[in-house]
């Protein structure tokens, strides 16, 4: 029996090495996925906060500004304060406009940043 184990020992060690390598590879892939998701979430939060604060500042600086002006200001503010988030997420102008409209409306209604 010992002779058989001795004969298969190199193959068993090789197989064990493959299993360990596969396990490490899977763990590394999972960590990359989790980290990527965390980074994306941080970018979404940064973009949202930039749109909110841009809309709130626009309303504060020009309380009689129309919705379109507040949206443009919010989007401009987001481009200036969260350029990495915009570059990473690559939202279309329509997406930014839709999100900005929500925060512009809230800011005009007095529910914007600083009023939560």
pLDDT digits (tens, 9 = 90+) for 31-61: 777 777 778 889 999 999 999 999 999 998 8
Residue 74, pLDDT score = 95
Average pLDDT over the chain, rounded to an integer: 87
Residue 111, pLDDT score = 58
Mean pLDDT of 11-19: 85
Asked if residue 65 has pLDDT above 70, the reply is yes
Query: Residue 96's closest CA among 72, 60, 80, 116?
Result: 72
Domain residue limits, the chain: 2-108
Mean pLDDT of 14-29: 86
Asked if residue 114 has pLDDT above 50, the reply is no
Asked if residue 79 has pLDDT above 70, the reply is yes
Query: Residue 82's closest CA among 69, 70, 66, 96?
Result: 96
Asked if residue 116 has pLDDT above 80, the reply is no
């Amino acid at each position: 029996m010992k002779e058989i184990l001795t004969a298969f020992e190199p193959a068993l060690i090789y197989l064990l090495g493959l299993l360990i390598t596969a396990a490490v590879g899977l763990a590394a892939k999972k960590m990359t996925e989790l980290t990527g998701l965390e980074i994306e979430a941080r970018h979404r939060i940064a973009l949202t906060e930039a749109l909110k604060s841009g809309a709130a500042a626009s309303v504060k600086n020009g309380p009689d500004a129309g919705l379109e002006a507040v949206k443009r200001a919010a989007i401009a503010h987001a481009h200036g304060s969260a350029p990495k988030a915009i570059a990473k997420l690559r939202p279309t102008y329509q997406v930014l406009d839709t999100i900005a409209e929500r925060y512009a409306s809230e800011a005009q209604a007095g529910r914007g940043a600083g009023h939560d």
